Amino acid sequence: MSRFGPAIPYDATAVRDTWETLPPHVRERVTAELGGAPADIRMAGGGFSGGFAARVRADSGAELFVKAAGSDKAFALAAYRQEARVNPALPEGIPAPRLEFAADFEDWTVLGFETVEGRAPTLPMTPRDLALMLDAWAEAATHLTPAPKRLLDLGVSAVPIDRNLRRFAAVASGEDEPFPVPPALEGRVDELAELERGIDAAMTADAVMHFDLRPDNMILGADRAWICDWNWVQVHSPWFDTVCLLVAAHGDGHDADALFRAHPTAEGVSGEELDTALTSIAGYYLAQAIDPPIPDVSPYLRAHQRWSGLAAADWLALRRGW
């Protein structure tokens, strides 16, 4: 139990399709890529989307990490299709499992990635695990700055920051109903909205960011980490991703401020910019957390959002002396 409620079991959040429920044409394609029928299937325990995700091995020893989703899981389907476009365009040197094949059918998509020896992160995170994840992101950010031409040619761009990162501003203007906030943030909606207004300037950069960097989108090996799920990359500031990852670290009891300032992506980032990012992240998570559960999506999603929102709000309040 943390200060923000039960710790999310990031290695056991998933509710997934199984191999047996996949349509025959999807299973046939995976079997063809493996060169034989699966002899061992190890389902991925982490994740929120509900799509099929598993390490699949044939008797020959050939292995793939397979993702698949159909039209009944629209979010996962869109994410997997975007990942099939983005992954091959990632620069060499980025610590990410590489796509070996992708097949897109009318109502299904299936991806096969190289397998890596590792495990899903869990809470509490050890300093060693956290360091491996931060090092992996530092390495990736180096290759993503300036924005790589192959990703730009693919259409990756600086998409305008949407209302999801302006939830306090929406409440302050009367556009949205208020959502629950921890005591330290009560009565501060106008101040929080003003902080949020700096998000466009804070996010402006000639670089590509992951935009979904969390512990559950990482794989931990013995001496390195890999970053997964490159679905939503955009041309924005990589340090925002560093903050997103460190929100979980703060919630887990680590010194997130010190870790942020020690990270290469934080160079030149002002304290006010950091507070703007934390405000936007806290508002996003806290507002999302009160939405109804989504069918066929992990039942842990709203708890994850609530826990993360409280952690981001607490880090912000600590920095601002609230």
Beta carbons of 167 and 278 less than 8 angstroms apart: no
| Average pLDDT, integer, range 125-154 | 98
Who wins on pLDDT, 193 or 46?
193
Domain that holds residue 109: 19-113
Name the pLDDT band for 142 (thresholds 50, 70, 90): very high
* Predicted model pTM: 0.95
Q: Are 176 and 110 in contact (CB under 8 A)?
A: no
Total residue length of the chain: 322
* Single residue among 113, 138, 157 that ends a domain in this structure: 113
Residue 74 has pLDDT above 70, yes or no: yes
Minimum mean pLDDT among 88-102, 196-210, 252-266, 296-310: which range? 296-310
pLDDT of residue 7 exceeding 90, the answer is no
Say yes or no: 87 and 168 in one domain. no
Contact criterion met (CB below 8 Å) for 113 and 98 = yes
Residue 215 has pLDDT above 70, yes or no: yes
- Is 282 in the same domain as 211? yes
Is residue 3 assigned to a domain? no
Looking at the structure, do residues 105 and 209 belong to the same domain, yes or no?
A: no
Residue 1's pLDDT is: 55
CATH code: domain of residue 221? 3.90.1200.10
Q: Distance between alpha carbon 165 and the CA centroid of its chain, in Å? A: 15
More confident residue, 17 or 77: 77
Q: Is residue 122 part of a domain?
A: no
* Residue 216 near residue 120, CB atoms below 8 Å: yes
On whether residue 120 sits in a domain, the answer given is: no
In this predicted structure, the answer to whether residue 40 has a pLDDT above a threshold of 90 is: yes
**End residue of a domain, out of 87, 113, 139:** 113
* Inside any domain, residue 272: yes
141 and 278 belong to one structural domain: yes
* Model confidence at 96: pLDDT above 70: yes
- Domain count across the chain: 2
